[in-house]
Amino acid sequence: MNFNTLDTSKTYLITGAAGFIGYYLSRTLLERGCRVIGIDNINNYYDVNLKYSRLEILNPFEKFTFIKGDISDKNMIAAIFEEHKPHVVVNLAAQAGVRYSIENPDAYIQSNIVGFHNILEACRHHPIDHLVYASSSSVYGANHKVPFEESDRVDNPVSLYAATKKSNELMAYTYSHLYKIPATGLRFFTVYGPLGRPDMAYFGFTKQYFSGGTIKIFNNGDFENDLYRDFTYVDDIVEGIERLLCNPPLEEDNVNHRVYNIGNNSPEKLMTFIQTLEKCLSNSLGREVIFEKSFEPIKPGDVPATYASTDLLEKAVEFKPKTSIEEGLQKFADWYCEFYQLSISK
């Protein structure tokens, strides 16, 4: 089976198209010659200039249609499905961030629960070939069994963000069972790369360095029991999604629904990741970069480790992420310095 062959005659609807993963997926599909309908509300959770920069790259594609709107607007979503009749839907629109869910829970219910319900309802009334939606490694909570497997119990989320993503999986399963919607959920593991999200640690560390600030590391300074993360480069994430798009799950036990981990399957200590980022920025700038660091207790909602078993994904589409943090962070560092016009003399 050729997992890289997309049907370019089909229409792909991508929510969150101005977001980090949504942009990369949209660009990849457009480069393949696919028709893409992108939706995004361009909210100000982080710097909207990054979102507009992504859209500037997408807009010249003849087969790209962008609609500014919020998936929590049920009538708008219904009208888009009625007009554009998508064959494949990728729901990446969501209020992201574990820590922000503690400060502003309403945003998560509105986008991640109400918005996703609207997408499911639209798929119910306008049948599609496949719904792919974003879940998160956060659903595993403080699970101490590693690597995390899709069969693990995920009944104890430690953040509202995680709870909404677990809810998405349950909702998609139910709609698949009741209305025969082929659906695939993807549990993303710490995605990073150029044009990424400024709320992610690697981006924030870099910004703090150039502003002369101190980076906060939430591991109590305990290097022996440091936080572990399964950092996954964005190109790997997109390749995994692309392979899955044209391979909806087969019916099993009267439901067409699957959930996959999509991670690097190679967790790194947070301090190792930080040291690699320092080295990559040093390469980009031509001088040594060392972050000023302060160590603090782990934050509520954070988990000590994320580590993805990717066996199911490999079995389904013969794919396993492969980009090393050295390669991925170098690409990020080079992009950051160019995007923000940082010279080696700065």
Please list the active-site residues: 161
Cα separation, 112 vs 94, whole angstroms:
5
> What three-state secondary structure class fits 313?
helix
- Which stretch of DSSP H or E encloses residue 185? strand 183-188
- Name the β-bridge partners of 15: 39, 91
Cα separation, 49 vs 192, whole angstroms:
18
Q: Where are the beta strands (DSSP E) in 29-118?
A: 35-40, 64-68, 88-91
Other beta carbons within 10 angstroms of residue 260's beta carbon come to 24
Cα separation, 197 vs 213, whole angstroms:
19
Tell how many helices (H) and how many strands (E) occur in the chain.
Answer: 12, 13
Residues in the chain: 346
Provide the terminal-to-terminal Cα distance of the chain, rounded to the nearest Å: 51
- Name the β-bridge partners of 56: none
Angle between helices 20-31 and 234-245 (to 10 degrees): 60
Q: What are phi and psi of 297, to 5 degrees?
A: -65, 155
> What three-state secondary structure class fits 293?
strand
Q: Which residues contact 149 (CB under 8 A, 6 or more apart)?
A: 261, 309, 311
Residue 187: closest CA among 141, 218, 249, 227: 141
Strands 268-269 and 228-229, bridge-based pairing: antiparallel
Strands 130-136 and 183-188, bridge-based pairing: parallel
147 prior amide bond cis, ω within 30: yes
